[in-house]
Copies of this chain bind each other. A is one copy, B any other.
């Protein structure tokens, strides 16, 4: 495993050198984890011209303990001494006479940037931009295997919930129960705060569970995901509580389902992000739901639940094979509720069967 991380750092090193930077300072936790296999709280990574070093605020626990840190990585622990690991890293870069250091300006605060400048006044600070995020876009099969397991876990947790009695239980309790089941099935934790919305709350993106109880006739929207070895998936489904859905519920469900299918079918290597978004969005648009739409209909997933690419009308770029994304159009009608259907898929060439659906729970409109 450790070779994987060393190879990722090697790629970044080459990229830095090509841009004229002797070293790079990685502060964004998901990027540190991608490049080292671990991200102890507050740890930063210095990718140097020949050697790499991890600077930790406290003794690394968890992953690092489990020996997942590779041997090519020097680890410096500031514990007891306190201080900012990024400042210690800049100091180290300065003392090996690195003349320029690329930093993550989209993550580093203005105050921290100033502290780096003052500890290493002779080092020119450049912007690394989202180089590591771009490197993270296309996943290797090891990463996809983790996402596949994460999706399996989420499917299991959701499946069990559907077999239990729902009427009378609060959104908050259903969300907690789902999170417990995720961990029961082997997740390291939820991938993001589980969202459960009932009745007028249904269909709302990222709805925070409240004390509202499930009632007969409600739409029930659930969105959850598992974190498995750092990799995060997402699944969202909407159900009807009771035996016969109302006409408006069937109609709205069909519409969102059609939009979601169109989005899924548009997922092919070479497809523009905005085309995928358009495929889903235009279905809802022409059904008169333009106003109720979120600014995106899907996004990348991986070590973070919300990564590049964004599937949105103004997004620039095209899909590659082995990029995992969500497709999650939804409509929320104020006061009435709504529908959201959300899958995690991996982009695959048509010759390999097209997009690989990771979250396989049925998308039929179930009446529970």
Task: Tell me the A residues contacting B by CB distance below 8 Å.
Answer: 41, 58, 61-62, 79-82, 103, 105-114, 127, 172-173, 176, 179-180, 183, 189, 193, 204-208, 210, 291, 293-295, 312, 314
Contacts and interface: CB of A to CB of B under 8 A. Distances in A.
The 10 closest A-B pairs by CB, nearest first: A105-B110, A106-B111, A82-B295, A105-B111, A62-B208, A110-B113, A176-B180, A176-B183, A108-B110, A80-B295
Secondary structure at the A interface, as helix, strand, loop or mixed, is loop
A69 to B, nearest CB: 15
A107 to B, nearest CB: 6
Contact of A109 (B81, B107, B206): B107
A207 B110 contact: no
Given A61-B208, A183-B172, A183-B173, A294 B79 contact: yes
A111 B109 CA distance: 9
Contacts of A114: 105
Contact of A206 (B41, B111, B205, B207): B41
A82 B208 contact: no
A168 to B, nearest CB: 16
A41 to B, nearest CB: 7
A85 to B, nearest CB: 13
Contacts of A314: 82
Contacts of A210: 62
A27 to B, nearest CB: 10
A133 B346 CA distance: 43
A205 B112 CA distance: 25
A314 B82 CA distance: 10
Contact of A61 (B61, B81, B107, B204): B204
Contacts of A294: 58, 79-80
Contacts of A204: 61
Nearest to A129: B111
12 contacts: A58-B294, A62-B210, A80-B294, A82-B314, A105-B111, A105-B114, A106-B112, A110-B113, A111-B127, A176-B180, A180-B180, A189-B193
A80 B110 contact: no
